[in-house]
């Protein structure tokens, strides 16, 4: 199974965030339409649904592409994606003038998200890469 390794890497990368976004979307939908919480779903989920899975796929292609010398562990590579997504998300939240949490809390959330990304990439994305025959 050596045909189209970058396409397989992209597909392995988008699986986890796409499944997770479906759970988040269902949560927001229930909160808005069942419990009548005024959450603008279309404003909150446009960025994650459009950009996050695609960046995960491209990030996995980049991981596959890095064959020169010693490669970073996949968990560390995935945790570095937070440095790309966080500033973009922060700017979009600021542009739409949503509630911003205090700076110390942002740093704690940032660290927690890095740990989550590390674990998801180390176990889930690495498993999918291995399953599709594109692991190192």
**Residues 31-90: tens digit of each pLDDT:** 888 898 887 776 767 777 889 999 999 999 999 988 656 778 999 999 999 999 988 887
∠ CA 106-107-109, rounded to 5°: 65
pTM score, whole prediction:
0.86
The domain ranges of the chain are 5-131
Identify which has the larger pLDDT, 117 or 50: 117
**What is the Cα–Cα distance from 50 to 48, expressed in whole angstroms?**
6
pLDDT at 59: 96
Asked if the model's pLDDT at residue 28 lies above 90, the reply is no
User: How is residue 88 written in tokens?
Assistant: 């973009």
User: How is residue 56 written in tokens?
Assistant: 């995960």
């Amino acid at each position: 199974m050596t045909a189209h390794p970058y396409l397989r890497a992209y597909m392995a990368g988008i699986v986890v965030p796409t499944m997770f976004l479906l759970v988040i979307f269902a949560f927001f939908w229930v909160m808005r339409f069942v419990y009548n919480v005024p959450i603008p779903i279309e404003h909150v989920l446009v960025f994650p649904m459009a950009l996050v899975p695609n960046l995960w796929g491209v990030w996995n292609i980049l991981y596959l592409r890095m064959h020169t010398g010693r490669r970073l562990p996949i968990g560390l590579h995935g945790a570095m994606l937070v440095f790309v997504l966080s500033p973009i998300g922060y700017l979009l939240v600021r542009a739409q003038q949503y509630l911003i949490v205090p700076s110390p809390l942002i740093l704690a959330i940032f660290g927690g998200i890095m740990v989550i990304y590390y674990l998801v990439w180390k176990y889930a994305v690495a498993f999918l890469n291995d399953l599709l025959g594109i692991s190192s």
